[in-house]
Amino acid sequence: MTQQRYRALAEWPLMATALVFLAAYAWQVIGRIEGTGADWLEGAMWVTWCVFVLDYAANLWLAENRRQWFVRNLHELVIVALPFFRPLRLLRLVTLLSVLHRTVGETLRGRVVTYVAASAALLVFVGALAVLDVEQWAPDAKITTFGDALWWATATITTVGYGDMYPVTPIGRLVATALMMSGIAVLGVVTASIASWLVQRVEDTAETVAEAVEEPVRAEVAELVSEIALLRREIAELRERRPL
């Protein structure tokens, strides 16, 4: 089985696994689950982790050039190898994003707006979860409910930053930095999409212009061809008429 075929097969199961992970994480963080419930959710998260490790191993095994794949996908190794550091686990959801990317890219090409909106929504949701996870037990925390966390994440990704809420722990601030950078990327992609649409229009016009400019040359060349055909016929007549 080639890597490409494996990836096609593994796409939807991986997406489902990522969603299970996200649900378990969200439940634990938002519900402030402790005790037996927390153990069950923790177990579910470890199962999803195993699936991601297996996926990584399968990809590495099936890669045409294993060394090259390993070097180019170091970030996947980091995500897989660091399950003990809670908020980093959410980086696994990059999988969700890339699956979304592939799906949108293949079936709805051009619907960049849908993709950007979905990505931004996922980023806000995951960012809010991650910040709530690390902030809600901090002593001077401003962000203590999921509603607050969502509100803060929205104001951060749009670079509005009211400042009524902000993370106070180092990890919360790292999550905030990721959200800020995502916001700049989202803005860039929105602008690029509009630009792309404009550029498409220009391209169409350029083609029309090129054809319009070519037209007279083509007409004259066609005239030349018929002129020369006439010439040949006249010479042929000349030959036939002449006395041998």
Binding site residues, a copy of itself, CB under 8 A: 147, 151, 154-156, 158-164, 166, 170, 173, 176-177, 180-181, 183-192, 194-196, 198-199, 202-203, 205-207, 209-211, 213-214, 216-218, 220-225, 227-232, 234-239, 241-242, 244
Distance of closest approach, residue 134 Cβ to a copy of itself, in angstroms: 14
Residue number, 78 or 228, with CB nearest to a copy of itself: 228
Residue number, 108 or 192, with CB nearest to a copy of itself: 192
Give the three-state DSSP class for 144: coil
Distance of closest approach, residue 39 Cβ to a copy of itself, in angstroms: 32
Taking alpha carbons only, the member of 226, 134, 123, 129 closest to residue 180 is 123
Residue number, 77 or 181, with CB nearest to a copy of itself: 181
Give the three-state DSSP class for 210: helix
Distance of closest approach, residue 99 Cβ to a copy of itself, in angstroms: 23
Distance of closest approach, residue 194 Cβ to a copy of itself, in angstroms: 4
Q: Residue 231 carries which side chain, given as an amino acid letter? A: L
The span from the CA of 169 to the CA of 177, in Å, is 12
Residue number, 41 or 175, with CB nearest to a copy of itself: 175
Using alpha carbons only, how large is the chain's radius of gyration in Å?
Answer: 30
CA dihedral 46, 69, 14, 179 (to 10 degrees): 80
Distance of closest approach, residue 72 Cβ to a copy of itself, in angstroms: 14
Residue 201 token pair: 């229009």
Residue number, 18 or 116, with CB nearest to a copy of itself: 116
Taking alpha carbons only, the member of 3, 12, 216, 188 closest to residue 100 is 12
The span from the CA of 136 to the CA of 152, in Å, is 13
